[in-house]
Structure 1
Amino acid sequence: MSAAANAARGEAALELGGQVLTLRPSFAALVAAEEEVGPLFDLVERAADGKLSLGDMAALFWHCLTDRGGGLTREALGEAILALGLAKVTPVLRTILQQILAGK
């Protein structure tokens, strides 16, 4: 389990299945996400247009995780996001996208 998210570092907390995960859009995390889902500006535009896929969101979250311990797999993360529902993960997505645009 990750420590509490630190907003001053651009982190966001995502509670999935009783576990609080910390997401931090670090340079390394965003480079890895960009290699998988394409340019970050395109990702932000797709999100703004309501065209961000569940796969893109799961990929972004996976790469931004600060701790992948506890046996969490990427598939389990995607299933947990789906189970939680898009309405509940959207604020976390918004935080990450704001960090991409604004920087820290």
Structure 2
Amino acid sequence: MSAAANPLRGEAELRIGGRAHVLRPSFAALVAAEAELGPLFALVERAADGGLTLSELAALFWHCLAERPEALTREAVGEAVVAGGLAAVTPALRVLLGQILQGR
């Protein structure tokens, strides 16, 4: 399991299966997310317009996981989003989108 999220590094926390995981929007993570989801600025615009899909949200979180335990699957990330509800994951999403727009 990852250490606690460090907001000074632009990190956020996501609970998956009752465990806290660190989301770190590193360059490599964002490049991987962009390769799958398209331009990040367009992703931010879709989020601002309320058009971000559940699969896009899960994909962004998946790519930004600082550590992925071998047993953790992408489906588990998506299920954690559904189980916790959008209100529970919005703070983490807000941090990641802020880092995309502002950088560190």
Counterparts of 1:47 and 1:24 in 2: how far apart (Å)? 19
Which sits farther off after the overlay, 63-72 or 26-35? Answer: 63-72
- Gaps of at least 5 residues in structure 1 are none
Following TM superposition, by how much is the alpha carbon of 1:17 offset from its aligned partner in structure 2, in angstroms? 2.3
Query: What is residue 50 of structure 2 aligned with on the other side?
Result: 50
Counterparts of 2:7 and 2:21 in 1: how far apart (Å)? 14
Counterparts of 1:98 and 1:18 in 2: how far apart (Å)? 25
Counterparts of 2:26 and 2:80 in 1: how far apart (Å)? 23
Code of the aligned partner of 2:15: E
Q: Superposition pairs for residues 9-88 of structure 1, below 5 Å?
A: 9-88=9-88
Counterparts of 1:34 and 1:92 in 2: how far apart (Å)? 18
Structure 1 stretches of at least 4 aligned residues deviating more than 2 Å after TM superposition: none
Q: TM-score, normalised by structure 2?
A: 0.97
**Paired residues of 2:16 and 2:76 also in contact (CA < 8 A):** no
- Alignment length (residue pairs): 104
Describe the SS at the equivalent of 1:22.
strand
- Gaps of at least 5 residues in structure 2 are none
Following TM superposition, by how much is the alpha carbon of 1:18 offset from its aligned partner in structure 2, in angstroms? 1.6
Counterparts of 1:44 and 1:18 in 2: how far apart (Å)? 28
CA RMSD, 1 decimal: 0.8
Q: TM-score, normalised by structure 1?
A: 0.97
Identity %: 68
Counterparts of 1:65 and 1:32 in 2: how far apart (Å)? 12
